[in-house]
C-alpha cells in the first residue's frame, strides 16, 4: 500500500485550490495543497471551494497515542488529505490535534471541522482514556442507535457549552478561526444557530452546520436544513446504511448544502471491514481503483453525487494510507455503485 502511494507521490503536483468566497475577510485565507494529480476533490456548494473527498474522523484520538497520531496527520497531509473532523465532546481529541498540527506546522494547511452544544446539552465531556493496551472507550456519538449499528443516543454531557465551548475549541486547536463549526447532534440547534450565524459574519468560522449520526433523526435534521442557512450537514452513510441517500441527500443537493459523511466504514462497532471478513474483493473493484475493502467501502460513499467528503475514523498510519488511497483515482459510476449494492446485499 505504502509503496503504491510513494511511487505516486514522486509525480505529485501541487495544486492550489482557491477560496471563491470566505465569510468575513478579517484573516488571511488558508490554502490547501493537493498532493497527487489524481486526488479527488469536490466543491462545497455554498462557495465552490474545493476540498479533498477523504478526510479523517478523530473521536478516538488520545494523548497517549500522540506519536502514532502525529505520524498519521503528517502522512495524511503528504497524501493530500486536509479535512479533520473533531468535536468539543471527543475528550482529548481537539487538544491533541492542536498540539500535533502546531508541532508539524500544519495549522493553516488543514480544513478543521469541530462541534459544540449548549451548556448541559452534551458535547464536551471528557471520556476516560483507554486502559493501557486496551480498546479505546466508546466514541462520542458512536454508532449504535436506531437504524445505525452502534450509535449512541446523544453526545456526552458537558458542563460548558455555547460560546465558552467555542473559545475552548479555539484554544485547544490553537487557532483563531474554525473552518467548519457544527452543532453536535440535534440537541441545541435552536439555541446555538444565532451564535453560529454571528460567528460566521464576524469571520470566526468559515462554514456552519449541524450533525446527527442517527437516521431516525433525519426528519428533524431536514426541518433545520430548511429553516437555517447551514453550509454543511454531517450524517452517517455507508454501503450497509443507505437511508440518508433517499431521505437527506436530495434535499441537501437541492438546497446546496455540503454533506460530510460520518461512520463511512459502518462505525467502530459495526465495522464493514470486519463483516467482509475473508470474502474476496471482487475483481471488478479494480475498475474504479479499489484495491482493499476499505477503499471499496469509502469509494462507494464519496462517489454519491451529493456527498462532499467522508471522515473515516482512524488511529493507525496504515489505515490513513489506505483511506487516503480511496480518495485518489477513479470513483465508481452510477452503474458500478448499483453493482456494489447488489454485491453487498447478496452477501456473495
Ligand X SMILES: NC(=O)c1ccc[n+]([C@@H]2O[C@H](COP(=O)([O-])OP(=O)(O)OC[C@H]3O[C@@H](n4cnc5c(N)ncnc54)[C@H](OP(=O)(O)O)[C@@H]3O)[C@@H](O)[C@H]2O)c1
Binding site for ligand X (CB under 6 A): 57-60, 85, 139, 141-143, 184-185, 211, 213, 234, 262-268, 271, 273, 294, 311-316, 319, 322-323
Nearer to ligand X, 52 or 141 (CB): 141
Nearer to ligand X, 172 or 268 (CB): 268
Q: Considering the complex, what minimum distance in angstroms separates the CB of residue 340 from ligand X?
A: 16
**Grid coordinates belonging to 239:** 454501503
Q: Could you report how far apart the first and last alpha carbons of the chain are, in Å?
A: 26
Nearer to ligand X, 262 or 302 (CB): 262
Which 3 state secondary structure label does DSSP give 248? coil
Nearer to ligand X, 119 or 317 (CB): 317
178, 109 contact by CB (below 8 A):
no
The DSSP letter of residue 331 is -
**Grid coordinates belonging to 109:** 494547511
- Which residue sits closest to ligand X, CB atoms considered? 313
Q: Considering the complex, what minimum distance in angstroms separates the CB of residue 305 from ligand X?
A: 21
Nearer to ligand X, 22 or 111 (CB): 111
Q: How far apart are CA 109 and CA 80, in angstroms?
A: 10
| Rg (alpha carbons) of the chain, rounded to whole number | 19
**Grid coordinates belonging to 302:** 464519496
Q: Considering the complex, what minimum distance in angstroms separates the CB of residue 18 from ligand X?
A: 27
Q: Considering the complex, what minimum distance in angstroms separates the CB of residue 320 from ligand X?
A: 8
Q: Considering the complex, what minimum distance in angstroms separates the CB of residue 24 from ligand X?
A: 25
- Burial category of 54 from C-beta neighbours within 10 Å (exposed 0-12, middle 13-18, buried 19 and up): buried
The DSSP letter of residue 110 is S
Q: How far apart are CA 239 and CA 337, in angstroms?
A: 9
275, 266 contact by CB (below 8 A):
yes
Nearer to ligand X, 117 or 336 (CB): 117
Q: Considering the complex, what minimum distance in angstroms separates the CB of residue 21 from ligand X?
A: 25
Amino acid at each position: 500500500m505504502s509503496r503504491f502511494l510513494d511511487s505516486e507521490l514522486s509525480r505529485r503536483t501541487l495544486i492550489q485550490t482557491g477560496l471563491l468566497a470566505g465569510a468575513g475577510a478579517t484573516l488571511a485565507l488558508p490554502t490547501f495543497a493537493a498532493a497527487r494529480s489524481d486526488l479527488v476533490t469536490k466543491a462545497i456548494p455554498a462557495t465552490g471551494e474545493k476540498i479533498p473527498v477523504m478526510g479523517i474522523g478523530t473521536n478516538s484520538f488520545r494523548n497517549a497515542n500522540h506519536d502514532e497520531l502525529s505520524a498519521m496527520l503528517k502522512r495524511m497531509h503528504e497524501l493530500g488529505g486536509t479535512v479533520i473532523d473533531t468535536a468539543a465532546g471527543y475528550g482529548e481529541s481537539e487538544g491533541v490535534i492542536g498540539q500535533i498540527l502546531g508541532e508539524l506546522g500544519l495549522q493553516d494547511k488543514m480544513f478543521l471541522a469541530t462541534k459544540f452544544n449548549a451548556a448541559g446539552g452534551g458535547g464536551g465531556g471528557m471520556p476516560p482514556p483507554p486502559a493501557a493496551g486496551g480498546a479505546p472507550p466508546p466514541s462520542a456519538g458512536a454508532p449504535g442507535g436506531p437504524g445505525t449499528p452502534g450509535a449512541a443516543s446523544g453526545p456526552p454531557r458537558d458542563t460548558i457549552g455555547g460560546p465558552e465551548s467555542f473559545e475552548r475549541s479555539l484554544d485547544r486547536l490553537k487557532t483563531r478561526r474554525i473552518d467548519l463549526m457544527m452543532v453536535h447532534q440535534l440537541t441545541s440547534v435552536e439555541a446555538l444557530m444565532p451564535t453560529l450565524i454571528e460567528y460566521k459574519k464576524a469571520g470566526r468560522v468559515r462554514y456552519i452546520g449541524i450533525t446527527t449520526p442517527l437516521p431516525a433523526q433525519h426528519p428533524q435534521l431536514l426541518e433545520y436544513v430548511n429553516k437555517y442557512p447551514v453550509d454543511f450537514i454531517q450524517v452517517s452513510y455507508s454501503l450497509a446504511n443507505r437511508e440518508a441517500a433517499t431521505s437527506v441527500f436530495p434535499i441537501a443537493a437541492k438546497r446546496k448544502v455540503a454533506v460530510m459523511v460520518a461512520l463511512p466504514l459502518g462505525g467502530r462497532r459495526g465495522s464493514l471491514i470486519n463483516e467482509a471478513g475473508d470474502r474476496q474483493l471482487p475483481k471488478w473493484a479494480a475498475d474504479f481503483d479499489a484495491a482493499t475493502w476499505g477503499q471499496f467501502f469509502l469509494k462507494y460513499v464519496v462517489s454519491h453525487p451529493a456527498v462532499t467528503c467522508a471522515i473515516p475514523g482512524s488511529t493507525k498510519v496504515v489505515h490513513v494510507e489506505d483511506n487516503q488511497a480511496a480518495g485518489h483515482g477513479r470513483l465508481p459510476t452510477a452503474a458500478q455503485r448499483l453493482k456494489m449494492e447488489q454485491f453487498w446485499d447478496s452477501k456473495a
